[in-house]
Structure 1
Amino acid sequence: MSRQVVTSSDLSSTDFASEKEDQTSIAADMKSLFKLPVLIANAVPIFAGFWLAVYFTDASFAANFGIFLLTIIGSTLVMGGALVLNNWYDVDIDTVMNRTQTRPTVTGNIGLRTVLWIGVASSVSGIVMLAFTTLEAVIYALVGWFTYVVLYTMWSKRRYTLNTVIGSISGAVTPLIGWAALAPVSNIVPVMLALMIFIWQMPHTFAIAIRKYDEYKAANVAMLPVVHGMEMTKRQMVIYITCLLPLPFYLFSLGTAFVVIATLLNIGYFALAISGLFVKDTRKWADKMFMVSVNYLMVIFVVAIIVTGPWVG
């Protein structure tokens, strides 16, 4: 009978593999806890707001780079803290919904008390950093945080279909934070961009609610399609996207190219929304609406940055 000999090198490689796996697991848990894709999506409008404030005030980005770092890191910490607290509070809902069952609050990989402290610490740290920019930026960040954590997560999400409207406020303040960190929000550009985000979030969230209808229903979350049905939800989406149509025409200060691109996006978005009133496979249509809405906002802000860059002259 042969005897297997375990050498020290075997143990070392095993320990290394285990340690690497643990690190990967921790990174995945933190990514899920902070909802990294959502965090990144919200950071882009903040950057755009700051960038546009530099452009319209004839300031120097390089000279204000320190303020920019405080703004982008501080606001990201505030948003991240809000998202973590949302995970902490919604653990019972996340346990029911398939798409959220891998979150560390559900799996138990990170204790709920720890999650609470992470959320609070991140939020406070972010506000402190923003306090070194301007009071106006802090106010917008606090409005976004309070709206998302208290008014949306803790109060309206489980009770009212208007939870989507309330939650949209938290996303809408992002370009205002970026702009206000450098200059007072007295220009129509950040206001219109904030309004675009606010309106856009309605059809975007409705598309998600249709795609995840069964999960929201099982978790007893008061989303519009769960409470009032698919047809009303699709009509609401058309109405909100219609409200987006005139907004680019208030932004001619960003240039004709921006207005044309934003208008074409709106027309395409509107046409797809209208088609939803006649489709039989609502879920498949909602998948298309979701993909379009995700890319819509990114294109709007990337184009706004590009057309105001120093390379345009």
Structure 2
Amino acid sequence: MGNEYMNVSGGHKSSKTFKQQSNLITDIKALVKSGVLIANALPVFAGFWLALHFTDASFGEFWGSFLLTMAGSTLVMAGALILNNWYDSDIDTVMDRTKHRPTVTGSFSLKTVLRIGIGATIAGFILLLFTTWETVFYTWIGWFTYVVLYTMWSKRRYTLNTVIGSISGAVTPLIGWSAVDSAIHIVPLTLFLLLFIWQIPHTFAIAIRKHDEYKAAGVKMLPVVHGMDVTKRQMTIYVATLLPLPFLLPALGVPFMVIVTILNAAWLVLSIRGLFTDEHRKWAYWNFLYSVNYLTIVFMLSILVTLPIFD
């Protein structure tokens, strides 16, 4: 009987420990917004990879820079996302999609979150100091735009917060490329422009789906201030401006240009359909899904077409 009791007790303790560890991992993923972090790391990698390709450099020459760039930029981006959670903890309590973040539930104190955010940012920049000044500069632009200009200044005041915040995500291919060579090049600059434009309809789709939550939280998103019809028209215009961009990238080959053009045209059709429907949230949901897959395909494709087997 005693042995049976001990085994059951030990099992309960083991189960409790596992649950605590699982909750901790979940909280950390929410704190750094793991999905957003991964989505931003992909263009950094693509930028680095493409720079190697277009400068005829070997990975062996730059493996150290690669590790420093990926680790440093990821830490800085994580720091920015953590600081966003810290600053927005008050409005996150109002929104259903954010009320389970550890800054709301109390799993981490706000003081601890602030320290982690600052620490991750500093650690990331220290690593990046061993790359190039241009890499540090683009990373700083991304961090400053997201934390100061977007999170602390414009998000609660102006509908232009979406446009301002888009700069931070758009610099990611420049960060990766500049670790190898100057990013003043048509390929990374076009990818910057593509990412900048992409983020606006992507974010508007989220804002339409979460309209009531943003309204309750007092966040000045475009559909909250100017309504659904204005937002859908602007989304369509931004998606349309993506159409010429593949033709600025003939260096990536005809298959890349054709596939991305088809993706752009399909997104435009989906956006135009939204102008003629009252099912705003359903339409925005499909736009959101399309935009996420669009980004993944474009950057994975940019890597794929430059693999040696396609030379």
Instruction: State the TM bucket, normalised to the shorter chain.
Output: over 0.9
Question: Which residue number corresponds to residue 160 of structure 1?
Answer: 158
Q: State the match for 2:190 in structure 1.
A: 192
Give 1:99's aligned residue.
97
Matching residue within 295, 302, 306 for 2:293: 295
What does residue 113 of structure 1 align with?
111
Indicate the residue corresponding to 2:40 in structure 1: 42
**Structure 1: how far apart are the matches of 2:172 and 2:265?**
25
For the residues of structure 2 that align with 1:18 and 1:293, how far apart are their CA atoms? Answer: 39
- Of 84, 87, 93, which residue of structure 1 is paired with 2:85? 87
Query: How far apart in 2 are the matches of 1:41 and 1:119?
Result: 19
Name the CA distance, whole Å, in 2 between partners of 1:225 and 1:304.
33
Q: Secondary structure at the match of 2:37?
A: helix
Q: Which amino acid aligns with 1:239?
A: I
Equivalence map 1:1-313=2 (5 Å) = 7-313=5-311
What is the identity, as a one-letter code, of the residue corresponding to 2:293? N
Give the Cα separation in 1 of the matches to 2:308 and 2:106. Answer: 49
Scaled by the length of structure 2, the TM-score of the pair is 0.98
**Matched residues in 1 for 2:30 and 2:284: separation?**
24
Q: How far off its partner does 1:6 sit?
A: 6.7
The Cα offsets for residues 213-241 of structure 1, whole Å up to 9 and x where unpaired, read as 01000001000000000000000001111
- Map Cα deviations across residues 122-168 of structure 1 (whole Å, 9 max, x no partner): 01111111111100000000000000000000000000000000000
Q: Alpha-carbon deviations, 1:184-213, whole Å to 9, x = none?
A: 112100000000000011100000000000
AA aligned opposite 2:306:
T
Structure 1 residues 75-117: Cα deviation after superposition (integer angstroms, max 9, x where no partner):
0000000000000000011000000011000000011000000
What is the alpha-carbon distance in structure 1 between the residues aligned to residue 17 and residue 286 of structure 2? 41
Q: Deviation at 1:61? A: 1.2
Over the residues paired in the alignment, what is the CA RMSD in angstroms?
A: 1.2
Structure 1: give runs of 5+ residues left out of the alignment.
none
Q: Following TM superposition, by how much is the alpha carbon of 1:5 offset from its aligned partner in structure 2, in angstroms?
A: 8.7
Helix, strand or coil at the partner of 1:118: helix
Q: Match of 2:310, SS?
A: coil
CA distance in 1, matches of 2:254, 2:239: 21
The 10-residue stretch of structure 1 (279-288 or 173-182) with the greater mean CA deviation from structure 2: 279-288
Secondary structure of the corresponding residue to residue 158 of structure 1: coil
* Structure 1: distance between partners of 2:49 and 2:262: 24
The C-alpha deviation readout for 1:10-47, integer Å capped at 9, x for no partner, is 22222111111110010000000000000000000000
> Could you tell me how far apart the structure 2 residues matched to 1:103 and 1:164 are?
22
TM-score scaled by length of structure 1: 0.98
Q: Aligned letter for 2:265?
A: I
Q: What letter is aligned with 2:236?
A: V
1:262 Cα offset (Å): 0.6
Seq. identity, %: 60
Query: 1:63 offset after TM fit, Å?
Result: 2.6
Q: How many angstroms apart in 2 are the aligned matches of 1:280 and 1:84?
A: 36
The offset of 1:312, in angstroms, is: 1.3
Alpha-carbon distance in 2 for matches of 1:68, 1:60: 11
Letter aligned with residue 287 of structure 2? M
